[in-house]
Amino acid sequence: MPHSAPTSIGPSPSQPPLALGPALQRQLQAGSAESVELIETHISWVVLTASHAYKLKKPVRLPFLDFTELAQRRRYCEEELRLNQRLAPALYLDVVAIGGTADAPVLLEPGSTEPAIDYAVRMRRFGVGALLAERVMTGRANVAELRDLARDLADFHGAADTSVPDAGYASPAQIEGAVGDVLTQLESTPHRVRLAAWRDWVRAEARALAPCWRLRRAQGFVREGHGDLHLANVVWFQDRLQAFDCLEFQPAFRWLDVMNDIGFLTMDLRAHGRPDLAAGLLDDYLQYGGDYGGLRVLRFYEVYRALVRLLVAALRGDPVVAEAAGGGDHAQAAKPRSQEDPTDAPVPRAASSAAQLAGGTARRRPDYRLCLDELLRQDATAPRLVLTQGLSGSGKSTVARQLVEQFGMIRLRSDVERKRMFGLAPEQASRVDGLDIYTPEATRQTFGRLEALAETVLAAGYPVVVDATFLRRDERRRFQALARRLGVAYAILQCEAGLDTLRARIRRRAARGGDPSEADEAVLERQLQWREALGDDERPWARRISTATPVTAEALAAALASLP
């Protein structure tokens, strides 16, 4: 985890002046009719041609990195390529040797026998406005592209190396120490007036979470991840969002709990005024990855990342501090200035106003102080358990997703969890593999799994919506009993539409494909025969939701607010 501010910077006494980047720019410009640009940070140069970017590491030494020797710079270039090709293979091309002299450097061809004076990572160049931070701020980011990103990250984390090379990585002491270092650095900023309260929260949470951190490390959730996964390190490239600019120079920064990785993105979306997109991305990540147990540590990591970015923003005049505190330098060529500087309640508390959520309004600049305040308030929000109930095609999943985006609920979807038990991906068709995953025993196990997951999520402090048909009384009552046992609020949202509408939706869904639900019209006909009406003991907690027309945010809020 990046957390230490640099105390010194400069070349080794034996190194030449820091001029190789500008010299390479001049040489490439001399042979090109198009503009060649140079972006400089305290640890790198990025030379930009019309189609490529060449990233060179400066021969500098900082508390968290040492690039002073040629062999080290080559090794870190190769490491940067290895790490980033895991997530953005089309963006990161290769490592190129640089020959010639410091005053007249040249890019060497592969296999050249000329001595190398340095090395560079060669990337394809992407355009201005392509960063996810820019897409969010200009309203171009959408649910579909974030869903693809969530699936890619879930697959990436699922396949990432789990052979943690150092016992200290992601240990309770290292995690608490990282946050403590950020808090110490915040003492010299205007935020020092809040430090006592923040420290108290961090210490209390660290004590409570220490066993969980150890368990997650033992269970393999500490992996070689990205390490710096904020919105300015995700780019729209070749019609897809791709994460790039992994932290290559310090393994401790990228060997982390996977929830620390994903929590940086969800926090940054919140800070940019899009808690709906944050909740949606988390929902999709969980649907594809299934790490519901990680919710117990997610909010701590979101708070940590908000503190890091708060520090970066407070010290935005010092790019060295920004890089050490969590801002990478690989994408500075395209980053907007805002990225460089960077209770019991009847209704679950939304992260922002309902109007903002409905309108999806991003902030012109991210507000990490407000985001931090909202995260700490949410930590005290009482969880609740909501069931969606209705026939196939009645809009249950659509309503459940609205609850995710509007109230930050965690969705447990029966179609997804049923398939997960059989080793299937959410959108994988069971019939193709000749499986029968809809036997009575499979259904019994599915609802048992949903109940266990609901308890896990509620214990982590999050409101839950269970997305299933819930057409049988015994299925509903086991969740009502769970809510009573845990002392959380409970609700049933009955999703209803006409039969012609249900049939038409099922046909459209089948024709479209790619949906976790495999219910067809035959299933609908059987459901009509054996569905069981709500009993007198259930009706006080139930509200009817007509899905014949789009359900508004206000209608959902009103339905939940009217419950006992």
Residue percentage of the chain with pLDDT more than 70: 88
Average pLDDT over residues 300-306: 98
What number of other Cβ atoms are within 10 A of residue 165's Cβ?
Answer: 10
What lies within 8 Å, CB to CB, of 83 at 6+ separation is 224, 246, 247, 248, 254
- Phi/psi region, residue 15 (left: phi>0; alpha: psi -120 to 50; beta: rest), is beta
Beta bridge partners of 290: none
Closest to 108 measured CA to CA, from 117, 70, 125: 117
**Is residue 357 scored above 80 in pLDDT?**
no
Report helix, strand and coil shares of the chain as percent, to nearest 5.
50, 15, 35
Q: Where are the domains of the chain?
A: 132-163+224-250+259-378, 384-561
Q: What is the pLDDT of residues 148-159, one digit of tens each?
A: 999 999 999 999
* Mean model confidence pLDDT for the chain: 88
From residue 171, alpha-carbon distances to 1, 167, 180, 212 in Å are 11, 7, 14, 10
Q: Are the CB atoms for 417 and 453 separated by under 8 Å?
A: yes
**Structure confidence at residue 340 (pLDDT):** 32
Give the C-alpha separation, 326 to 330, whole Å.
Answer: 12
pLDDT of amino acid 436: 85
How confident is the model at residue 360, as a pLDDT?
52
Residue type, 511: A
DSSP state for residue 214 in the 8-state scheme? H
C-alpha–C-alpha distance, residues 479 and 490, integer Å: 9
* Dihedral sign of CA atoms 133, 138, 139, 143 in order: negative
What's the mean pLDDT in 334-350?
31
For the ranges 73-87, 145-159, 187-201, the lowest mean pLDDT is seen at 187-201
| Position 336 pLDDT exceeds 80 | no
Distances (CA, A) of 221 to 85, 162, 179, 266, 289: 21, 7, 20, 18, 12
pLDDT at res. 347: 36
What is the pLDDT at residue 348? 36
What superfamily does domain 384-561 belong to in CATH?
P-loop containing nucleotide triphosphate hydrolases (3.40.50.300)
Residue whose structure tokens are 């500075």: 332
Q: What global pTM score does this model have?
A: 0.89
Q: Residues of 204-231 as b/e, b for ≥16 C-beta within 10 angstroms?
A: ebbeebeebbeebbeeebbbbbbbbbbb
Tens digits of per-residue pLDDT, 533-550?
A: 999 999 999 999 999 999
The residue type at 346: P
More confident: 329 or 100: 100
As a residue count, the chain comes to 564
The neighbour count for residue 355, using CB atoms within 10 Å, is 10
pLDDT digits (tens, 9 = 90+) for 430-464: 877 778 888 889 999 999 999 999 999 999 999 99
What is the Cα–Cα distance from 316 to 296, expressed in whole angstroms? Answer: 32
Per residue, what are the HEC states of 353-420? CHHHHHHCCCCCCCCHHHHHHHHHHHCCCCCEEEEEECCCCCCHHHHHHHHHHHHCCEEEEHHHHHHH
Write out the two tokens for 545: 């939701």
Angle at 500 between CA 412 and CA 497, to 5 degrees: 45
Would you say residue 125 has pLDDT above 80? yes
Q: Which residue has the tokens 């609020």?
A: 489
Range in 64-73, 135-144, 238-247, 336-345 the model is least confident about: 336-345
169 phi and psi angles, rounded to 5 deg: -65, 125
Q: What's the mean pLDDT in 163-168?
A: 94
Higher-confidence position of 347 and 509? 509
Query: How distant is the alpha carbon of residue 560 from its chain centre?
Result: 28
CB neighbour list of residue 317: distance below 8 Å, 6 or more residues apart: none
- CA–CA dist 469, 115 (Å, integer): 69
Q: How far, in Å, are 150, 186, 278, 409 from residue 283 at the CA level?
A: 9, 32, 9, 9
**CA torsion, ordered 171, 188, 39, 229, to nearest 10 deg:** 30
* pLDDT on residue 469: 96
488: helix, coil or strand? coil
Q: Of the candidates 214, 218, 228, 212, which has an alpha carbon nearest to the alpha carbon of residue 260?
A: 228
Q: Indicate if the pLDDT at residue 532 is higher than 90.
A: yes
Whether the pLDDT of residue 521 is over 70: the answer is: yes
More confident residue, 394 or 331: 394
pLDDT of residue 315: 77
State the pLDDT confidence band at 4, using cuts at 50, 70 and 90: very low
313 pLDDT more than 90: no
Over residues 305-323, mean pLDDT: 69
The region of weakest confidence among 60-74, 235-249, 333-347 is 333-347
Using one digit for the tens of pLDDT, what is the confidence trace for 324-334?
A: 333 333 333 33
C-alpha span between 295 and 212 (Å, rounded): 11
Q: What is the pLDDT of residue 380?
A: 56
First to last CA, the chain: 45
The band of 342, judged by pLDDT with boundaries at 50, 70 and 90, is very low
Does position 99 have pLDDT exceeding 60, yes or no? yes
Region 117-134: mean pLDDT is: 96
Q: Is the pLDDT at 145 greater than 90, yes or no?
A: yes
Confidence at residue 31, expressed as pLDDT on a 0 to 100 scale: 84
Question: What 8-state DSSP symbol labels residue 346?
Answer: S
